[in-house]
Structure 1
Amino acid sequence: MSTLFCFGLGYSAQVLAAKLKAKGWGVVGTTREMNKAADLAAQDYDLHLFDGTAPLADASVMAPATHLLISVPADDDTDPVLRWHAADIAKLQHLKWLGYLSTTGVYGDRGGDWVDESSDLRPSQARSKRRAEAEAAWLALWREHSVPVHVFRLAGIYGPGRSQLESLRRGTAKRLVKPGQVFCRIHVEDIAQVLQASIARPDPGAIYNVADDEPAPPQDVVAYAAKLLGMAPPPEEPFDAAKLTPMAASFYADNRRVRNDRIKRELGVTLKYPTYREGLRAMAAPLAAQLQDRA
């Protein structure tokens, strides 16, 4: 039986896990806090504590893994999975595929220009620099120990419960305008689709950009979401005048467009949500109905 082991059974990993479990796969995963993982336990996942500050209590729980997904971020020092379990992973006897979830942030700021997987890495944010270092370390595990590592550079993730639709309903959405600024996005369902396609066509050492077809200005996405909900969009605000936290402002420091040709050409992927419009439309109908019921 195929078994997926997820270091970090979070938002994106759960979508993949559910699809594979429905096909009869075993799913083993880690969580940072066992007392907050009741919803995962209810889905009959085999859960283990791993918060990065210490190794798994029993590394042998990885032994049945045929596929390994790494979705925990690197911390201030190194990738926590590599720090504690690189040697254990290198010894796994049944491992056919390992996926490391990285970020398109490793490309840094390109002034709105396009990048692809062959572009050099220029991470400008500390968190992106850590991701680039983690990518290199995982790929070294492939080169030195033949671990079947695949790297997936994810654009901004959205999906049910995590989109401009929710921020509009909460009254927290803003339409910040920074001339020329675009963001790349990817629906969580399409992340799972890409990972499944890679599992079906493993190519150790491969790197894939996971983004949709249309980088877009953030204010346009908010306006479209508001239209779907039948709400007036918030007014546009100049970015320079906005009062943002340092973290929120940091996302506007990088401006790039990410090419996704490789996932289509090499993995045969046809995106379910090729732009934010399809993705938001799919989620908006039930939310709009809820708003009408409350009116």
Structure 2
Amino acid sequence: MSGPSVLIAGCGDVGSRLAEQLLAEQWQVFGLRRTVSRLPAGVIGVAGDLFNEQCPADWPATTLDYLVYSAAATDHDEAGYRAAYVEGLQHVLSWLKQHGQQPKRILFVSSSSVYGQQAGEWIDETSATEASGYSGRLMLEAEQLALDSGIPATRVRLTGIYGPGREWLLTQVRRGYRVAVEPPLYGNRIHADDAAGLMAFLLKADHQGEALDDCYIGVDDAPAPLAEVVAWLREYMGVTEWAEDATVRRTGSKRCSNARAKALGWLPGYATYREGYAAVLAGS
């Protein structure tokens, strides 16, 4: 007997990691993306474009127990974000309706950009969402669309994802990247495997009858000042030179808590940036 079925709409890096974890648990996994040849082995490909209102020709005809909406913006401007998160979700919800499918739950992959706090405050799922930029505002609009869909929905607000292929900070540190020490610029991060692991944990918990909240923050155990992270990486990688002009231009500073997810029983595999970046640098 096969396990639950899930459609991952926008099955890119994190979505593919999620797919592999669920396949290992005998779930039936459909992955929607433009290039299905890049899906992990075992995923049933659904060739489609979230930006196009036309339903994919090979949309699953079977019952779908879960939907994970994990889109990524192609264009990083306001129109690009609206197309990826608001309009794309509208399209998928319409396709479900066309096929008479009513998943048990939607997981909507959101972002901590919905929080506009900038003074190092601690943030949890109950904190005010007063996004200052269009990315956060449009993410909130898409979240509300999921909540209003008529399907139980849980938002997963991921913080800065890093991991293999997501090595921007490592590149900057190698170049002699500088960062202000005072006031501390707090950053929040989660390894890509842990981002996928949190979603897999929530899906399995729901399937087992656990009551889920409508929102979880995906973050490791240790939000840290960027200066601390850079100093540790410099020492770990043996970088001794400083660049003249490579300086940070970040403005946001907040500390996100994972207490709600941990209270449900989730634990990150990489508790802090130290374990996570050591694994990345070791090629694992």
Letter paired with 1:70: Y
CA contact (8 A) 1:41 1:47 kept: no
Q: What is the CA deviation profile of residues 38-76 of structure 1, one whole-angstrom value per residue up to 9, with x for unaligned ones?
A: 332766541312141333233742643222110115733
How many angstroms apart in 2 are the aligned matches of 1:46 and 1:185?
A: 30
How many angstroms apart in 2 are the aligned matches of 1:44 and 1:192?
A: 15
Q: What is the CA deviation profile of residues 200-247 of structure 1, one whole-angstrom value per residue up to 9, with x for unaligned ones?
A: 2224652001111222222332332233233336458685xx6xxxxx
The 5-angstrom pairing of residues 247-258 of structure 1 reads 249=249, 252-258=250-256
Deviates most, 160-169 or 102-111: 160-169
Letter paired with 2:14: S
- Using structure 1 for the length normalisation, give the TM-score: 0.79
CA contact (8 A) 1:114 1:258 kept: yes
Specify the alignment match of 2:96 in structure 1: 89
Specify the alignment match of 2:270 in structure 1: 273
How many angstroms apart in 2 are the aligned matches of 1:15 and 1:85?
A: 21
Structure 1 position 107, deviation (Å): 1.0
How many angstroms apart in 2 are the aligned matches of 1:59 and 1:173?
A: 49
CA contact (8 A) 1:106 1:123 kept: yes
The reply on whether 1:30 has 2:32 as its aligned counterpart is yes
Pick closer, same or farther for the CA change 1:268–1:82 going to 2, 3 Å: same
Which structure 2 segments of 5+ residues have no match? 74-80
CA contact (8 A) 2:31 2:44 kept: yes
Pick closer, same or farther for the CA change 1:236–1:197 going to 2, 3 Å: farther
Deviates most, 78-87 or 151-160: 78-87
2:221 to 210, 213, 224: 213
Matched residue SS, 2:156: strand
Pick closer, same or farther for the CA change 1:57–1:154 going to 2, 3 Å: same
Q: What is the CA deviation profile of residues 122-168 of structure 1, one whole-angstrom value per residue up to 9, with x for unaligned ones?
A: 00111111001111111111xxx2x1211101100011221357515
Specify the alignment match of 1:264 in structure 2: 262
Specify the alignment match of 1:48 in structure 2: 47
How many angstroms apart in 2 are the aligned matches of 1:38 and 1:59?
A: 14
Letter paired with 1:158: Y
Matched residue SS, 1:268: coil
Structure 1 position 85, deviation (Å): 3.1
2:147 to 124, 133, 139: 139
Matched residue SS, 2:39: helix
- Using structure 2 for the length normalisation, give the TM-score: 0.82
Structure 1 or 2: more helix by fraction: 1
Specify the alignment match of 1:175 in structure 2: 178
Specify the alignment match of 1:39 in structure 2: 38
Letter paired with 2:82: D
Percent identity reads 28
The 5-angstrom pairing of residues 102-251 of structure 1 reads 102-141=110-149, 145=150, 147-163=151-167, 166-167=170-171, 171-172=174-175, 174-177=177-180, 179-202=183-206, 203=211, 206-232=214-240, 234=242, 239=247, 249=249
How many angstroms apart in 1 are the aligned matches of 2:257 and 2:186?
A: 13
> What is the aligned-residue RMSD (CA, Å)?
2.8
How many angstroms apart in 2 are the aligned matches of 1:11 and 1:87?
A: 25
Which structure 1 segments of 5+ residues have no match? 243-248, 288-295
CA contact (8 A) 1:183 1:218 kept: yes
How many angstroms apart in 2 are the aligned matches of 1:213 and 1:57?
A: 40
How many angstroms apart in 2 are the aligned matches of 1:100 and 1:24?
A: 22
How many angstroms apart in 1 are the aligned matches of 2:27 and 2:176?
A: 39
Q: What is the CA deviation profile of residues 51-108 of structure 1, one whole-angstrom value per residue up to 9, with x for unaligned ones?
A: 4133323374264322211011573366123322324435414x23321000111011
Specify the alignment match of 2:78 in structure 1: none
Instruction: Number of aligned residue pairs: give it.
Output: 267
